Amino acid sequence: MNERYLEPTQESGAELFSRGIEGEVVMLNLMRFRLVADYSLHPELKPSQPVSGREAYRLYMMHTLPLLRKRGGDLLFMGDGGPYLIGPPDEHWDMAMLVRQRSLQDFIAFASDEEYLAGLGHRTAAVLDSRLLPLVEFNDIDALAGS
């Protein structure tokens, strides 16, 4: 299997902030789940019976969504993935999400909130591989066309 990506690096975080993003940012999340959630790093969160990675991610979202909204963010889309229509035929994602944040500062405040971090182990147990792509909406569609 190729390299897995589960957390941002210092370099990727610095690159994100160097973009000088003003205002809202939408995070495109792609996740591939473990068949059975691995709670070895967070045994305090482990359910009494083994659960799938998808179920562990559901527990993560139940914990996280109210905190995300409290910090000014919101879930715009969450749905099943699968193989690409255009892309590598051997690569698939189990789930895709779009999460809106009011600003990068709000995102950092959310991601470093102690209450949020207390449930992060469900995500760690659930996710085998992931991608997180920050997106910034065009304010002026004419800018896209170079007008």
DSSP 117-133: HTTHHHHHHHEEEEEEE
Q: What is the pLDDT of residues 50-76, one digit of tens each?
A: 999 999 999 999 999 999 999 999 999
Q: What is the pLDDT of residues 72-100, one digit of tens each?
A: 999 999 999 999 999 999 899 999 999 99
Domain ranges for the chain, please list them.
38-136
Q: What is the mean pLDDT of residues 115-129?
A: 97
CATH classification code of 38-136: 3.30.70.100
Whole-prediction pTM: 0.89
CA distance 23 to 135: 11
pLDDT value of residue 137: 87
Can you name the residues that pair with 133 across neighbouring β-strands?
Answer: 28
CB 68 within 8 A of CB 145: no
Q: Over pLDDT 70: what percentage of the chain?
A: 95
